[in-house]
Structure 1
Amino acid sequence: MSARAEARHTRLVHRLAGIMLVLVVVSAGIVSHWSADKPAKDEPVKQESAARAGPCPAAKLPDYAGGGKKAPTWSDEFAGSAVDKRRWSIRDQTSLSFDQARIRSRNVSVRDGRLVIQARRESSGGRDFSTGYLDTIGRFSQRYGRWEIRARLPVTAGASRGLWPAFWLRADDAPGEIDIMEAWGTPANHPHAKPSTYAWNLHQDTRGGGGNVHGWGTAAGKASLADGFHVFAVDWSPRCIVFSLDGKRTGAVSMKSAPWLKQSLQGKVNIRLNFQVGSRYWGWADPKHPERTRLPADFVVDYVRVYGS
C-alpha cells in the first residue's frame, strides 16, 4: 500500500471509530434516560415491579406494627386546631419546577381532627393555582419500619384533571426516594390513572438517572379513592420494601433484586406530604376549562403513623 493510500485508510478508520463512539454514547444516554424517567406521553407504563420483585414472604418479614398493637415511634393524629410545628415544617411562598401551583402555607390546615391540604384556583407567584406542602425535615426521620397514612384523595372522576396528591419519603443524606402513594385525577393523559388506582415508586436518584421500580394498587371493588378513607402503607426492612393498600399487598421489591437501593436509601428518611397541580405526563389543569378540574379540592389526611423495630 502506498503512503498516500495508507494515510487515507488510517483517516477512514479513525473517522469510523469516531462515529461508532458517538453512537455508543448517544445510545447509552437514551437508555439511561429511558430507565430513569417516566415514559413518553403515549407509551404504556412498564410494570417493572413484577420483574424486579424478589422473594418477600410475609412470614419472614418483621411486623413493625405488631398487628396494630405496637405503639408508633412517631405519629400525628391531627387532634389539635392547627398543624403541630414540632412535627412538621410547612412550606410557604415557593414553587416546584414542574407543576402549575404556588405553594402557600395558608393552604394547609387542621379541621375536625384531620389535616387538609387544599388546591385552589388563584393567581399566585405567576401561577394559576395554589397548594400546600409539609415535611418532617429536621424534625423526624427513621431508617426501617412501617409508614402509613389514612387519607381521602381528591381524584373525583372526570373533574380532577391534573390533581396529584402524594405521600412519600426522601433520604436525609442519600439520593433515594420511596413514594408510598401517588395518585392522579381524571381525565388524564394515560389510562392507568383512574379514580380507583394509585402508584408506588422507588427512585435510585432524585437528581435524575439511575434505577426506578414502580407498580400500581387498586381499591377493593375498584372503589374511587375520593369516596372514602384508605390506608396506604410501606414496610421497609433490610430485606424488602413492601407496599400495601388497606392491608392488602400491592407490590414488593427485595433489596437483592434492586441492589442500588442499599446506597440510595442509606441512612434515615423523612416524610413528605404534598398536593401538586398539573404535570407534563399526566396532564395539565386548564384554566379555560374549570369543569375538568373542580376546585377548591382537598387532600384530607386522618392520620400519619410510623412504626419501628
Structure 2
Amino acid sequence: MQKWIYLTVCFSFLGFGGCVSEEGNPDGNGASISVAIPTSGATSPSSYPGMNLVWEDEFEGNLLNTSNWSHETGTGQNGWGNNELQFYKQENTSLQDGYLVITAKKESFGGKEYTSSRIITKDKKQFRYGRVDIRAALPKGQGMWPALWMLGSNFNSVGWPACGEIDIMEMIGGNGREKTVHGTVHWQHDGSQAQYGGDYSLPSGTLSDKFHVFSISWDAQSIRWLIDDQEYHVIDTSPAQLDEFRRSFFFIFNVAVGGNWPGSPDANTTFPQHMIVDYVRVFQSN
C-alpha cells in the first residue's frame, strides 16, 4: 500500500461453498452474516526445485497464530498516511475451516464509519529473498483496498520510505478495477519517495470471483511479480540506490476502506466485504 506507515446461515451457489460466522451487518443490528468461500481458483505447489519451504501459515485452527502475527489497531496517522476511513480492530480477523478472513464492515467505531483488520509479522517473522506465494480471494466494491505487502524490518529505525516497501498484491475496487492486480515497490531516493509498479488485468471476471495466487520471486538483483504463476512485472534492484531491497522484510495483510487511491465507498458498495486467505508460503534457495 502506498503509505507510511451467532447464528450461522450457510449457503452455496456455483463456485462457492462453506461459510464463516460473524457478528454484525451493514445495518449494524447484530444479525449474523455468512461468508461464502470460493471453491475454485488457482493453486500453487508445495515445493519448487532447488528451494526449501522455510515458512508457511495455512491458517488452521480457530485462532490466529500469535507466534507469527500481531494486530495493528486504530486509525494510524492521517488515516495510515492515505486518508483511509477505517478503524482497524482485532475482532475483524477470523479463522474458519483453514482460511484467514479479514472483514471490512460499515459500523461506527472510534470516530470512524468503517472497521477492518490489519495483521503483521513484524518482530516475529522476517525474510530476505525467496519466492512468496499467497492464495487469496479479494473483496469488491467502490472504496475497497485490500493489500498483501511487506515493509523493511528496519522500519522503526529509519522510517518509511527508507525501509523499503514491497506490495505483493493491491487491488482497488469499483469502476471496473476489480479485475486488476497491482505490484509495486517504494523506496527513498534523494530524500524523497520513489516508486515503480506494474499491473495485470484478468481477461474475464474479477479477483473476488475465485482464488488467485499472488507471488513474488525476489533475489539480490530483481523482484518479479506473478499472478497464478504468470509473470507480469519486474524491477532491477541491483542499483546502489535500491539497497533497501537487499535487507529483511516483514508481512502485512489488511483491507483498507477508502483513501487517496480508491476513493470513498458509495451507495453501490455493499458491506461486509472480505479478503479470504488460504495460505502464505515462503521458499528460499537450498
| Alignment TM-score, normalising by the size of structure 1 | 0.70
User: 1:247 deviation in Å?
Assistant: 0.4
Is 1:271 equivalent to 2:259 in the alignment? Answer: no
Equivalent-residue separation in structure 1 for 2:47 and 2:97 (angstroms): 29
Q: Kindly indicate whether residue 55 of structure 2 is the aligned counterpart of residue 77 of structure 1.
A: no
Give the 3 Å change call, closer, same or farther, for CA 94–100 of structure 1 in structure 2: closer
Number of aligned residue pairs: 231
Q: SS of the residue aligned with 1:273?
A: strand
- Quick one: distance in 1 between partners of 2:118 and 2:166? 17
| 2:28 aligned partner | none
8 Å Cα contact 1:94-1:104 kept in structure 2: no
> What is the alpha-carbon distance in structure 1 between the residues aligned to residue 204 and residue 182 of structure 2?
14
Verify: 1:242 aligned to 2:224, yes or no. yes
Percent identical residues: 32
Q: Which stretches in structure 1 are left out of the alignment for 5+ residues?
A: 1-36, 39-64, 188-192
SS of aligned partner of 1:265: helix
Task: Report if the CA contact (8 A) 1:211-1:260 is conserved.
Answer: no
Q: Secondary structure at the match of 2:192?
A: coil
Q: 1:129 aligns with which of 114, 117, 121?
A: 114
State the AA in 2 paired with 1:209. S
The 8 Å contact of residues 220 and 245 in structure 2, kept in 1 or not, is answered as no
DSSP 3-state at the match of 1:260: helix
More strand by share: 2
Q: What amino acid maps onto 2:144 in structure 1?
A: L
The CA deviation at 1:281 is 3.0
| Rg (Cα) greater in structure | 1
Q: Distance in 1 between matches of 2:57 and 2:261?
A: 33
Conserved? CA contact 1:171–1:266, under 8 Å: no
Output the TM-score relative to the length of structure 2: 0.75
Distance 1:152 1:239, change over 3 A: same
Shift of 1:203: 0.4
More helix by share: 1
1:296 to 272, 276, 279: 272
Structure 2 counterparts to residues 123-202 of structure 1, below 5 A: 123-155=108-140, 160-173=141-154, 174-187=162-175, 194-202=177-185
Q: Distance in 2 between matches of 1:66 and 1:260?
A: 33
> Deviation of residue 69 (structure 1)?
8.2
Cα offset, 1:70, TM superposition: 4.7
C-alpha distance 68-107 of structure 1, shift in aligned 2 (>3 A): farther
